[in-house]
Amino acid sequence: MVTGLPKTVNVSTNEIVEAFGDDLFEIVKAVKKVLQDTPPELAADIMDKGMIVSGGTALLRNIDSLITQETGVPCYIADEPLFCVGKGTGIALENLELYKRALFAKR
């Protein structure tokens, strides 16, 4: 920062965990809240099949193990976690009429 030139800095795993510690706690807390609010019939499926983590958070090493340890529910990392939202949006757009019927039928 003094010279204004880019520089390489090594950051340890422990430093990253310390920096993200509060955020990881909030993620686990949110997952627990969703599981508590999940209807029993869906909760049973989740307990059997587990959860899949996607998005950038899935790239944090051992996030799946942390969630499994804290919730008791199996947790897995999605294949290509950064592309899940884009792929899902594409599938929804390709089947828009089907999704519209499903969404508006429940209202």
Structural domain boundaries of the chain?
13-81
pLDDT, residue 1, reads 59
The three-class DSSP label of residue 75 is strand
- Identify the burial level of 104 via C-beta atoms within 10 angstroms of its C-beta, where 0-12 means exposed, 13-18 middle and 19 or more buried: exposed
Contact 59, 53 (CB under 8 A): no
Residue 72 phi, psi (nearest 5): 80, 10
- The helix (H) or strand (E) run that includes residue 51 is strand 51-53
Fold (CATH) for 13-81? Nucleotidyltransferase; domain 5 (3.30.420)
The three-class DSSP label of residue 11 is coil
Pick out the chain residues at pLDDT < 50. none
DSSP 3: S
| 25 beta partners | none
pLDDT, residue 33, reads 95
